Amino acid sequence: MHGKMMGTSLTITEIMRFADRLYQDTEVISITTDEGVHRSTYGKVFKRSNQVAHALLHLGVQPGDRVATLAWNDHRHMELYYGISCSGAVLHTINPRLFPEQLVYIINHAEDRIIFLDPMFLPLMETLADKLPSVKAYVVLTGGEKMPDRKLSPIHCYESLLSDQDLTYEWPELDETTASALCYTSGTTGNPKGVLYDHRSTVLHAYAACMPNVLGLSHDDVVLPVVPMFHVNAWGTPYACPIAGAKLVLPGPKMADGESLHALIEGEGVTIALGVPTVWFALLAYLKESGKAVKTLNRTIVGGSACPVSMMEEFEEQHSVYTHHAWGMTEMSPLGSVNRLLPGMGSLNASERNEVRAKQGRAPFGVDMKIVDDDSNELPQDGVAFGDLKVRGWWVADGYFRQDDNSDTHDGDGWFSTGDVATIDQYGYLNITDRTKDVIKSGGEWISSIELENLAVAHPDVAEAAVIGIKHEKWGERPLLVIVATEGVVPDETGILSLFKGKVSDWCIPDSITQVDEIPHTATGKISKKTLREQFANYSFG
């Protein structure tokens, strides 16, 4: 028997309609690439999304067509998020940090029809355009007077294109499983793979993100996503903030610039900021150097790679900012877990508390997780057993775009293999020990590179750390600690190694430390262990 409730589709259009009705004056502040700080509101952003939808029709875009963006976080990108998806087309957010050959691959694979791009990415696109047969037009995200010299054709100016369009649009009533957005994961092997989100998964993910035990957003909040809108939808904040009615502060190209982030936080009264650890290293260094404070900031949500406890402590002790560690991935829209202490945990002492907080947290309602051994047998959730982490849920991908066979990544019961190795404790807290490809196997035992890296960066001489496995005749592999030293410091290697004593088993302590000027990163800002392993392929412990 069916219930007698309304079957209204879960669509992104409903988020837009809701915020346009109830939070139309709530601000959306951006740093733009062409005109500095820009002040807008949900009401204005969504009016202009109507104009985007008309412009897409004018450019010949059909439902289901992929429309790409190559842009930083700002109001224009937000207008495109809604204008493209709500008109029934697919928003393909492109990561400009990908290698040129990867950009060509994904644009051709997605068969993007139009590319909307920030002016600073024009030179890059000019070098690639003749390899992109599906692209029918380029639109530069700027105003007429700032329109740069152009070699691409046909090319339009965003503001001129919008100015002729009507401010109202008859939005189609979409089926909730209509594809809404596409994001490619960089992937550690092979070509990038496209994750194709739909309206339903996006709404459910955004709904969950607002919940108190997840991001806990409300209309009293001012949210600063320092995570790019070109990678995993800025962790869903462009959808969750209008649902919560939270003011949105978009940092444009100033993602890793401590001074600009501080100015935005103080100037706009930011209460919650989200980002990867690298971003917060930059902000904390700036605050230390300048002696400045972040008075309004209450919480940071840190994920994308492991957040060291030393960072949480610095935020809390120096700036009264509480850090929630979070974990997720492109295939999960991305939220998979967020760390919040359970009620009974208030009585833990500082070190017990830190032990829990270092973990990546618990899954929200909507995500199931389990760990399995090599034969897919489920392992106990006791905080000790570790194995491959599998997930399933409403906002988890069940395959990749244009890839019919998902048997590489999904089992017969629909569980997705994350490629991460983890433990889950009796309270449901997830602890990521490594990516499957990065675990170090020494004498048959596994060593967690993440745990060692977190301990290493707590030393004042270490600015960044990575641990990789080096081939070893007796043990198979042994850990090598690669560090970038704090500026102007000759690192005290013995002191750094002594940090590990008593914190990990003796046999897990790295055999050696080596210093480099720079640690290589992937396009999504993670340490590229693959490149590092290639770099140290001939290393021997001597």
| Nearest to ligand ADP of 418, 442 (CB atom) | 418
> Which tokens is 529 given?
């262990």
Site for ligand ADP in 342-381 (CB under 6 A): 360
| Nearest to ligand ADP of 24, 213 (CB atom) | 213
| Nearest to ligand ADP of 135, 369 (CB atom) | 369
> Which tokens is 182 given?
């596409």
Query: Residue 388 in 3-state DSSP?
Result: strand
Q: Which of 185, 201, 323, 454 binds ligand ADP (CB under 6 A)?
A: 185
User: Which residues sit opposite 40 in a β-bridge?
Assistant: 28
User: Which residues sit opposite 480 in a β-bridge?
Assistant: 468, 512
Q: Which of 93, 271, 310, 330 binds ligand ADP (CB under 6 A)?
A: 330
- CA proximity to 514, closest of 486, 474, 541, 487: 541
Rounded to a whole number of angstroms, the minimum distance from the CB of residue 336 to ligand ADP is 8
From residue 484, alpha-carbon distances to 94, 116, 457, 532 in Å are 30, 37, 10, 13
Q: Which of 51, 418, 442, 449 binds ligand ADP (CB under 6 A)?
A: 418
Task: Tell me which residue has tokens 């897409």.
Answer: 56
d(CA 485, CA 495): 13
Neighbouring C-beta atoms of residue 190, cutoff 10 Å: 6
| Nearest to ligand ADP of 189, 347 (CB atom) | 189
Site for ligand ADP in 47-66 (CB under 6 A): none
- CA proximity to 438, closest of 479, 475, 484, 472: 479
Rounded to a whole number of angstroms, the minimum distance from the CB of residue 52 to ligand ADP is 27
Task: Tell me which residue has tokens 């989100």.
Answer: 197
Site for ligand ADP in 218-257 (CB under 6 A): 232
| Nearest to ligand ADP of 271, 305 (CB atom) | 305
Site for ligand ADP in 100-119 (CB under 6 A): none
In this chain, which stretch among 22-30, 56-64, 414-422, 507-515 interacts with ligand ADP, using CB under 6 A? 414-422
* # residues near ligand ADP by CB under 6 A: 22
Binding flags for ligand ADP, 290-309, as an x/- string (CB under 6 A): -------------xxxx---
Q: Which residues are catalytic?
A: 185, 331, 441, 446
Site membership for ligand ADP, residue 420 (CB under 6 A): yes
Q: Is 45 left (phi over 0), alpha (psi -120 to 50) or beta?
A: alpha
Q: Which of 44, 150, 435, 530 binds ligand ADP (CB under 6 A)?
A: 435
Binding flags for ligand ADP, 497-536, as an x/- string (CB under 6 A): -------------------------x-x-x----------
Site membership for ligand ADP, residue 329 (CB under 6 A): yes
Alpha helices in 457-508, H assignment, sequence order? 493-498
- Whether a cis peptide bond, with omega within 30° of 0, leads into 510 is no
Q: Which of 327, 386, 416, 500 binds ligand ADP (CB under 6 A)?
A: 327
> Which tokens is 356 given?
């829990």
123-143 burial string, b = 16+ CB within 10 Å, else e? eebeebbeebebbebbbbbbb
Rounded to a whole number of angstroms, the minimum distance from the CB of residue 436 to ligand ADP is 9
Residue 312's φ and ψ, nearest 5 degrees, are: -60, -40
- Which residues form the interface with ligand ADP (CB under 6 A)? 185-186, 232, 303-306, 325, 327-330, 360, 418-420, 432, 435, 450, 522, 524, 526
